[in-house]
Chain A
Amino acid sequence: MTAGWAWLILALATYPWLIGADLASDVFASSSLTIFISGVCLIAPSRRLRRWQSVLFAACLGFLFEARRPVPDGIVALALVAAAIFLSSNRPLLRNTPGMLRAAAVVNILACLCWYLGAAFVAPVAAVEPASQVTLQLLVAGLAGVIILLPIALTQNAVMDRLGVPPAPETP
């Protein structure tokens, strides 16, 4: 397998985690909270993949997420792509574990915010949703980002190792 298709293989490998998050959301359905992890999935690949690869990977994740949700087309995907460009251009930020955790929380929260704003745009009936709900949701997104980062990163790193993607330099 060439390293050129690494982004696609990685996306496929990440997909079970996304489904898992959906299932978890299912469990919490009655509380009307959603587990959002699409942003977290960007962190580990952004350290090692080439920029164009991480961009394609981010777009894939975004479109997968949007396909089943009523949001304006591309809003989450393009937000994730922007995040991927930023992360892969500023790798020093992801140098160590605290940096990655911080990035995971921030990216996840921002992507989740994009999703909610986009959704409010599409469904005007729901735009009256109290701010508290959004705040709570963002909080959950940040928390999920921190908790889920390590297992996801481990999976993704393992896949990338198998695909022969060069490891991230420890120091800039």
Chain B
Amino acid sequence: MKDSNEMRVLPSTPVERLRLHIVFAVFFAGFLYIGGGLAYRQLVQSGDLKEQSNSQSQRVVLRPPARGRIYDRNGFALVDSRARWSVKADLAALQKEFRAEYLRLVAAEKAREVGKIDRERLMEVARLRVLQGWLNKVWFVIDETNRNDKLRRPTAKIVPVTAPGERHVSEEDLRKHLLERRALPFTLVSDLAFPGASQAQSPEEGSKSVARFIEQFPVEGPIRLESDNIRTYPFGALASHVLGYVKDTDQLPENVNDISDVRIETLQKLHYTGKTGAAGVELTYNHVLSGFTGWELWTKTSLGYNQTRLKHSEPAQGSHVFLSLDYRIQAATEAALAKIKDSQSKLLPAAAVMLDVHTGEILALASQPTFDPNRLADRVSKAYYMEVEKSGAWLNRATQGLYAPGSTFKVVTAIAGMRKKVVDWDDVLECGAFYRVGNRDFPEHEPVGYGDVNVDKMLAISCNVWNYQVGLRTGIDALSAEARRFGLDRPLLNTVSDVESGGQPMTELPFAASRGLVVPDREYKLRIKAGPWNDGDTANLSIGQGYLLTTPLHMASFAASLARGETRTTPSIIHDVRRDGRHQGAEPIGLSKAQLDAIHGGMVRCVEEGTARIARIPGLPYAGKTGTTEYFQKGEKAHLAWMIGFAPADNPVVAFAVLVEGQLDTSTWGGKTAGPVAKEMLEAWAATAGSKYLVTPKPKDEPGR
């Protein structure tokens, strides 16, 4: 009975057996599928899956490094970093308070019986209220006026929330923060030294705010003190056009410290705010200054707050950059420029450059008006941006401003004439009150004319008629060729894109300078459809007027080249002791010693007794040439004042160029306006170089050479 029963369970017929096999096969296939799937997940996909789970539970926080400092040639820090103290609220630690406030709000709503309660909104309000309460406490402590007994117990009402800026927790900021960077603590006060974005404090007051918070605010609790670095420009607006400024960037940095073992791209999208150079050396040398970004790998809670730090790497500060500027000369230059004002004592736009004659290193480069990069380093207020915009201070007039060089160009005309052998150093030309070219009289600036004039005298008194004659004899082709030989048509400065594409910078300033440089010739005039070239144009060019456009930096380089008796000087803003004084494309000037001496001598006379005598420095004979150009400003005539030169006269060390844009209502003259600036620059230089270049005037000494 038992046996037969068992027998009946087992399949007996072939059909039944077949069915059983099929069932087995189906089950086997099913198990195989499941087992295979598991094995695939476990063995093949495990890496990816792990990454996936990591990406859901881990997060990388990038920590921006301090940028390198920028020094002048003597090691004064022109750009530095200062500690910035900020107050942050740890949102994870505030969860309980948020919850309590939320429940209180819900209870209040329920009591009011308004019907449907918008819980989401109440949570937002609760967060905002709690944070505002803490912010009030922070203000309560840092506000020095709060120190007396009347304010005994802090409540949310203690600080009258009237001041703008960071006295309010911005609802929008908080929402954005929770959305984008919940992991990080929420910033209550971004800069304790300057709390309230719009309020400016003195450094002393700033330190007090910081100290009051540190010493009086409770150490424990959800409010944290953090310190980081912020760019600071200790000399304010000094050399701001050279130094540039920094701006926020949310681009992920390229230089991240050994992050290879953490695959960032698989982790949650990063939100990052770093600093990057926006102008000047800060921009060109951004790759050097910016350093290596550090990072922290955190696990996060299900709510998205940071939990524990798994790994980290400290940020590394960027390298320092040594500029060729000498801050003493720079400061003197800017101070001298700041003295130039129009009749309504408004600053006139101006620029000044001083170079080392041998190396081409820029000792001072100033442009007026300026801006204060400190006010651009963190949050830029729109008002300040507009103020700078309106004053036209973004423009670096020394490298980007295009001007007709005026009488300073007469040196080029003289060189061209002597090289073409149409005039020699001792030739005397008869110069009357005007010179007739075609049917037009080209005037002298001296109503009665100068009579007999040689090169030497021409440069001293800036005789126009001499130049008309020599220019016409030389001809436009030779004249513009000469200007080109001195590189007046070639950009001295590389554009940013040049540097970024790996081009070797000639000079390291990143301004798209001199894009509009013009050394006119026949072709140029045809190209701008102004008709064929005529002698009048040549006469104009010979005194540096007309179509000719150049920059103060070009004129300073020209003066440096002239001082060395060469044609080109590559200016440089970086201090490098290994410079050998060779300049790209430089060749000897091509004049005899007597000819060159005549030009140098004429320029010395210009300072000693000529148009620049107002800028004479007793004991320091130097060469100079002034220029005054007419230009049109808003359709009306105004004057540009120029002065170029080099010093000392017999052993040139520095070369300079000064330019001032005159206004309509001021009489601006080369010697009178630009001369004093040159004088102060040279005096500052002489002071820094010690007295070794100063000549003690002896009674027997002849003025000049």
Given a CB threshold of 8 Å, the question of whether A touches B is answered with: yes
A residues with a Cβ closer than 8 A to B are 123-125
A44–B219 CA distance with the chains assembled, in angstroms: 42
A125–B220 CA distance with the chains assembled, in angstroms: 7
Residues on A with beta carbons closer than 8 Å to the beta carbon of B220: 123-125
Residues on A with beta carbons closer than 8 Å to the beta carbon of B219: 125
Q: How far is the CB of A69 from chain B (nearest CB, A)?
A: 16
A-B pairs under 8 A by CB, number: 4
A77–B408 CA distance with the chains assembled, in angstroms: 94
A45–B219 CA distance with the chains assembled, in angstroms: 42
A88–B38 CA distance with the chains assembled, in angstroms: 56
Size bin of chain B's contact surface: under 10
A124–B92 CA distance with the chains assembled, in angstroms: 13
Residues on B with beta carbons closer than 8 Å to the beta carbon of A124: 220
4 A-B pairs whose Cβ atoms sit less than 8 Å apart in the complex: A123-B220, A124-B220, A125-B219, A125-B220
Question: Closest B-chain residue to A122, C-beta based?
Answer: B220
Question: Closest B-chain residue to A124, C-beta based?
Answer: B220
A125–B219 CA distance with the chains assembled, in angstroms: 9
A16–B559 CA distance with the chains assembled, in angstroms: 93
Q: How far is the CB of A62 from chain B (nearest CB, A)?
A: 23
Q: How far is the CB of A156 from chain B (nearest CB, A)?
A: 38
Q: A-B pairs with the 4 shortest C-beta distances?
A: A124-B220, A125-B220, A125-B219, A123-B220
A150–B220 CA distance with the chains assembled, in angstroms: 41
Q: How far is the CB of A121 from chain B (nearest CB, A)?
A: 11
Q: State which residues 557-606 of B face A: CB under 8 Å.
A: none
A125–B225 CA distance with the chains assembled, in angstroms: 13
Residues on B with beta carbons closer than 8 Å to the beta carbon of A125: 219-220
Give per-residue flags for B209-253: 1 if the beta carbon is below 8 A from chain A beta carbons, else 0.
000000000011000000000000000000000000000000000
Residues on B with beta carbons closer than 8 Å to the beta carbon of A123: 220
A54–B323 CA distance with the chains assembled, in angstroms: 80
Q: How far is the CB of B486 from chain A (nearest CB, A)?
A: 68
Give per-residue flags for B83-126: 1 if the beta carbon is below 8 A from chain A beta carbons, else 0.
00000000000000000000000000000000000000000000
A124–B218 CA distance with the chains assembled, in angstroms: 13
A124–B220 CA distance with the chains assembled, in angstroms: 7
A123–B220 CA distance with the chains assembled, in angstroms: 7
Q: How far is the CB of A70 from chain B (nearest CB, A)?
A: 10
Q: How far is the CB of B222 from chain A (nearest CB, A)?
A: 10
Question: Closest A-chain residue to B219, C-beta based?
Answer: A125
Give per-residue flags for B187-222: 1 if the beta carbon is below 8 A from chain A beta carbons, else 0.
000000000000000000000000000000001100
A125–B221 CA distance with the chains assembled, in angstroms: 10
Question: Closest B-chain residue to A70, C-beta based?
Answer: B220
Q: How far is the CB of B260 from chain A (nearest CB, A)?
A: 28
Q: How far is the CB of A131 from chain B (nearest CB, A)?
A: 15
A125–B90 CA distance with the chains assembled, in angstroms: 14
A20–B219 CA distance with the chains assembled, in angstroms: 32
A125–B222 CA distance with the chains assembled, in angstroms: 11
A4–B220 CA distance with the chains assembled, in angstroms: 44
Q: How far is the CB of A53 from chain B (nearest CB, A)?
A: 38
Question: Closest A-chain residue to B93, C-beta based?
Answer: A124
A39–B689 CA distance with the chains assembled, in angstroms: 80
Q: How far is the CB of B310 from chain A (nearest CB, A)?
A: 15
A31–B219 CA distance with the chains assembled, in angstroms: 25
Question: Closest A-chain residue to B221, C-beta based?
Answer: A124
Q: How far is the CB of B257 from chain A (nearest CB, A)?
A: 24
A156–B642 CA distance with the chains assembled, in angstroms: 103
Q: How far is the CB of B184 from chain A (nearest CB, A)?
A: 18
Question: Closest B-chain residue to A123, C-beta based?
Answer: B220
A123–B219 CA distance with the chains assembled, in angstroms: 10
A124–B90 CA distance with the chains assembled, in angstroms: 13
Q: How far is the CB of B94 from chain A (nearest CB, A)?
A: 13
Q: How far is the CB of B96 from chain A (nearest CB, A)?
A: 13
Question: Closest A-chain residue to B222, C-beta based?
Answer: A124
A165–B172 CA distance with the chains assembled, in angstroms: 71
A59–B152 CA distance with the chains assembled, in angstroms: 36
A25–B429 CA distance with the chains assembled, in angstroms: 106
Question: Closest A-chain residue to B90, C-beta based?
Answer: A124
Give per-residue flags for B664-700: 1 if the beta carbon is below 8 A from chain A beta carbons, else 0.
0000000000000000000000000000000000000
Q: How far is the CB of A4 from chain B (nearest CB, A)?
A: 43
A123–B221 CA distance with the chains assembled, in angstroms: 9
A44–B265 CA distance with the chains assembled, in angstroms: 64
A123–B218 CA distance with the chains assembled, in angstroms: 12
Q: How far is the CB of B185 from chain A (nearest CB, A)?
A: 14
Q: How far is the CB of A98 from chain B (nearest CB, A)?
A: 43
A124–B219 CA distance with the chains assembled, in angstroms: 10
Question: Closest B-chain residue to A126, C-beta based?
Answer: B220
Q: How far is the CB of A126 from chain B (nearest CB, A)?
A: 10
Q: How far is the CB of B651 from chain A (nearest CB, A)?
A: 67
Q: How far is the CB of A63 from chain B (nearest CB, A)?
A: 23
Q: How far is the CB of B390 from chain A (nearest CB, A)?
A: 51
A125–B218 CA distance with the chains assembled, in angstroms: 12
Q: How far is the CB of B159 from chain A (nearest CB, A)?
A: 27
Q: How far is the CB of B219 from chain A (nearest CB, A)?
A: 7
Q: How far is the CB of A125 from chain B (nearest CB, A)?
A: 7
Q: How far is the CB of A127 from chain B (nearest CB, A)?
A: 11
Give per-residue flags for B139-182: 1 if the beta carbon is below 8 A from chain A beta carbons, else 0.
00000000000000000000000000000000000000000000
Give per-residue flags for B254-282: 1 if the beta carbon is below 8 A from chain A beta carbons, else 0.
00000000000000000000000000000
Q: How far is the CB of A104 from chain B (nearest CB, A)?
A: 35
A28–B572 CA distance with the chains assembled, in angstroms: 66
A50–B570 CA distance with the chains assembled, in angstroms: 100
A124–B221 CA distance with the chains assembled, in angstroms: 8
Q: How far is the CB of A123 from chain B (nearest CB, A)?
A: 7
Q: How far is the CB of A58 from chain B (nearest CB, A)?
A: 29
Q: How far is the CB of A11 from chain B (nearest CB, A)?
A: 32
